[in-house]
Amino acid sequence: MKNKTSSLRKLAEEALRENEKAARMRLAEIETIYSNAPVGLCVLDTKLRFVRINNRMAEINGVPAEEHIGRTVREIVPDLTDHAESEMQRIIETGEPVFGVEITRETAAQPGLNRTWIVNRLPLRQADGTVVGLNIVAQDITTLKRGQEALRKAYDELDRQVKERTTELTETNKELKREIEDRKLAEKAVRISQERYMLAVSGSTDGIWDWDILSNTVFYSDHFKEILGYASEEFPETVDAFRSRLHPEDADTVWAAVERHLQEHVPYNIEYRLKTKSGEYRWFLARGQAIWDDKGNATRMAGSIKDITERMEAAQNLRDAFIEIKELKNRLEAEKAYLQEEIKLEYNFENIIGNSDELRYTLYKVEQIAQTDTAVIILGETGTGKELIARAIHGSSPLKNRALVKLNCATLPLNLMESELFGHEKGAFTGAFDRRLGRFEVADGATLFLDEIGELPLELQTKLLRVIQDGEFERLGNSRTIKVDVRIIAATNRNLEEDVRNGRFRKDLWYRLNIFPITVPPLRNRKQDIPLLADFFVDRVSRNLGKSIDYIPKSVINALQNYHWPGNVRELENVIERAVINSAEKKLRLMDNLDNSQKDLTMAPKTLETVERDHIVRILEETRWKVSGKNGASEILGLNSSTLRARMRKLGIRKP
């Protein structure tokens, strides 16, 4: 059994190490993607201070990345305009992003040379929607702007030449030949201009498109088609070729943006997903500009698309990481609260005092079950120390470094009991002002101690059974299923078998809990432990009260051992505390009159032989009538196996 348990434990530890390794690799990949992204990325908090920045953005600002952290934008970029700063504050206040802001200025890396960037500023939100900062993305479009400027100048020059030649033609027919020659020159210039335009298109890293609205045909650059995985002849030059590849969730938004640009002349700058030839969807940043005639009708619209899939995935991974960190933070805070509450408890495993056979057998069963993840139910009268046994099991288990999360099923009403076990969402019921993690969620990967399990209402017994069987439940007010891995230790002073027969406790739940029962013996059955317990309580109470009591008279010990202790160890502790308070000298004086008449008089006195026989039979039943060998009855009773068999024959004990 121990070898099997050890193997399972090693497998579990190996799996945990693999999971931790995978998590570290994932975080490292996210960090590498973010740091080396080809676009400038940074995160600001609500005070416009840098929280995170990648290498490209640091290069743009001309300041090492590590010198950004904690400093404001104004400190890093002294020439930041008041308008830009106000706009960033407005995004934080309203949560509305701003796209397509063009910024032109010198760079620290190239003094005297202006470069142009397209900057997008987006709010950074928590899971509940609260804006906690800004995501800023900067894309260098200097080359594109220069190409556009060169193209514009070429068109302007062409227009000037055509007008000049037309004017000369109307002035004189004598210059007709010369004008024809000039027209040839102009046509050559147009051809050169067109060649330059096509050269600029073919050299662009973006996909270029040009939509002739009047004929409803579209020119797509070769690189546009390559981005989507198509050869030039495979992609029809139609609007439908584009629309059919839009992601269903983006189609309406994209076309609404196009219509709005054509009608209201607002900037066309949008992010959407397109399906590639392989069937996957990739993210693109699209920009466009229409041309209108003198009547205000749009005749053409041209623009570009840029693959931003890696950037979007990096942003999503970052958001996922933030969510994971927040969930872990919430769980750790909840566990910390429970740990702080547990620190206040007076008892722990080391406070299990006694040397009686009954107690040693109980602790032996604790050692047997501690290293497994089997559910345990602890049975015993009130005050016998069932919680100490639960703590002993947890403290000897592989989960000992996690909190022992506890819930007393007898102390809360039904509505609060369900919330305490499974948690609730904000607004789940009257008074639920915040989301709360339940004990099962806090105890994920640890141990949950359900004290007084017999008091759990039938309505909740079904939900508890589901968690024990399937490891899943839902918070109040949320339909999402939560998976947990929790070891259950339950305790009760009730006769649950009788409750099952009377319909007060579910039979299937009882079977699930009763895999490994441990019965804590009452104090009247471990009278030899009373002197040890008395010494322990006298010492502790004396130190708390600043007294020095170092002697317990034999008469006091006899009185304590002759009493039947209906309240068990808890009652003994209270009696000792009152005695210490009442003792003025170093000798303990009992304040209570321990009346033996309170013993259960319905039980007839037993002979020593009967007591011995009952004790041996009980140990044999617990060992399944294994007399000798490891964990056998002879080992537990401290007898030689031949001696035990001789006593069994004398007492007439036979295996049924």
* H helix or E strand, kind and range, residue 211: strand 207-212
Q: What is the pLDDT of residues 81-95, one digit of tens each?
A: 888 888 889 988 898
Contacts (Cβ under 8 Å, ≥6 apart) of 453? 377, 409, 490, 491, 492, 496, 513
Q: What are phi and psi of 568, to 5 degrees?
A: 60, -145
Structure tokens at 524: 């009247």
Q: What are phi and psi of 436, to 5 degrees?
A: -130, 135
Query: b/e for 595-617, b at 16 or more Cβ within 10 A?
Result: eeeeeeeeeeeeeeeeeebeebb
Q: Is there a contact between 305 and 284 (Cβ–Cβ < 8 Å)?
A: yes
Angle between helices 568-582 and 554-562 (to 10 degrees): 150
Q: Is there a single domain that holds both residue 535 and residue 555? A: yes
Q: Which of 492, 516, 540 is the last residue of a domain?
A: 516
Please report whether residue 246 resides in a domain: yes
Q: Is the dihedral of CA 46, 52, 55, 56 positive or negative?
A: negative
Cβ atoms within 10 Å of 295's Cβ, excluding its own: 6
Q: Is there a single domain that holds both residue 486 and residue 570? A: no
Give whole-number Cα distances, 65 to 35, 37, 56, 624, in Å. 10, 14, 9, 71
Please report whether residue 85 resides in a domain: yes
Q: Is there a single domain that holds both residue 292 and residue 181? A: yes
Structure tokens at 374: 């089997």
Specify the 3-state DSSP secondary structure of 119.
Answer: strand
Q: What are phi and psi of 590, to 5 degrees?
A: -70, 135
Question: Between β-strands 376-379 and 447-451, what pairing exists: parallel, antiparallel or unpaired?
Answer: unpaired
Q: Distance between CA 152 and CA 331 in Å, rounded?
A: 60
Alpha helices in 138-175 (DSSP H): 142-171
Task: Indicate the burial class of 398 (C-beta count within 10 angstroms; 0-12, 13-18, 19 or more).
Answer: middle
Closest CA to 531 of 511, 498, 563, 558: 558
Q: Is there a contact between 644 and 616 (Cβ–Cβ < 8 Å)?
A: yes
Please report whether residue 636 resides in a domain: yes
Q: Distance between CA 241 and CA 207 in Å, rounded?
A: 14
Give whole-number Cα distances, 213 to 233, 244, 252, 293, in Å. 22, 18, 19, 12
Q: Distance between CA 408 and CA 451 in Å, rounded?
A: 5
Please report whether residue 326 resides in a domain: no
As beta bridge partners, residue 124 has 133
Q: What is the CATH number of the domain that holds 385?
A: 3.40.50.300
- Go through the chain and tell me how many residues it has: 656
Closest CA to 313 of 342, 336, 280: 280
Q: Distance between CA 371 and CA 143 in Å, rounded?
A: 67
Q: Is there a single domain that holds both residue 46 and residue 29? A: no
Q: What are phi and psi of 208, to 5 degrees?
A: -100, 140
Q: Is there a single domain that holds both residue 224 and residue 112? A: no
Q: What is the DSSP letter of 585?
A: S
Q: Distance between CA 241 and CA 211 in Å, rounded?
A: 12
Q: Which of 313, 331, 365 is the last residue of a domain?
A: 313
Residue 641, domain extent? 608-651
Q: Distance between CA 454 and CA 452 in Å, rounded?
A: 5
Q: Distance between CA 8 and CA 26 in Å, rounded?
A: 27
Q: Distance between CA 370 and CA 373 in Å, rounded?
A: 8
Q: Distance between CA 536 and CA 529 in Å, rounded?
A: 11
Q: Is there a single domain that holds both residue 4 and residue 94? A: no
Q: Is there a single domain that holds both residue 54 and residue 119? A: yes
Q: Distance between CA 37 and CA 577 in Å, rounded?
A: 70
Count how many domains the chain has: 6
Q: Is there a contact between 91 and 98 (Cβ–Cβ < 8 Å)?
A: yes
Closest CA to 567 of 652, 493, 636, 463: 493
Contacts (Cβ under 8 Å, ≥6 apart) of 283? 271, 272, 273, 307, 308, 309, 311, 312, 313
Q: Distance between CA 19 and CA 506 in Å, rounded?
A: 37
Q: What is the CATH number of the domain that holds 116?
A: 3.30.450.20
Q: Is there a single domain that holds both residue 508 and residue 364? A: yes
Q: Distance between CA 205 and CA 139 in Å, rounded?
A: 13
Q: Which of 516, 549, 566 is the last residue of a domain?
A: 516
Q: What is the CATH number of the domain that holds 582?
A: 1.10.8.60
Q: Is there a single domain that holds both residue 19 and residue 43? A: no
Please report whether residue 19 resides in a domain: yes
As beta bridge partners, residue 263 has none
Please report whether residue 479 resides in a domain: yes
Output the CA torsion 441→446→452→453 (10° steps).
70
Closest CA to 228 of 265, 194, 186, 275: 275
pTM: 0.44
Q: Is there a single domain that holds both residue 580 and residue 616? A: no
Alpha helices in 375-435 (DSSP H): 386-395, 414-422
Structure tokens at 31: 């960090």
Structure tokens at 343: 């620190």
Please report whether residue 318 resides in a domain: no
Cβ atoms within 10 Å of 589's Cβ, excluding its own: 14
As beta bridge partners, residue 481 has 474
Q: Is there a single domain that holds both residue 352 and residue 468? A: yes
Q: Is there a single domain that holds both residue 215 and residue 89? A: no
Q: Is there a contact between 586 and 617 (Cβ–Cβ < 8 Å)?
A: no
Please report whether residue 337 resides in a domain: no
Q: Is the dihedral of CA 634, 637, 639, 643 positive or negative?
A: negative
- The most distant pair of C-alpha atoms in the chain lies apart, rounded to whole Å, by 148
As beta bridge partners, residue 101 has 119
Give the full edge-to-edge strand order of the sheet including 40-44. Answer: 50-53, 40-44, 131-140, 110-125, 98-107
Low-confidence ranges of the chain (pLDDT < 70): 1-5, 22-23, 26-27, 107-112, 147, 154, 162, 165-166, 168-205, 324, 326-351, 428, 431-432, 595-609, 611
What is the 3-class SS of 338-389, one letter each residue?
A: HHHHHHCCCCCHHHCCCCCHHHHHHHHHHHHHHCCCCCEEEECCCCCCHHHH
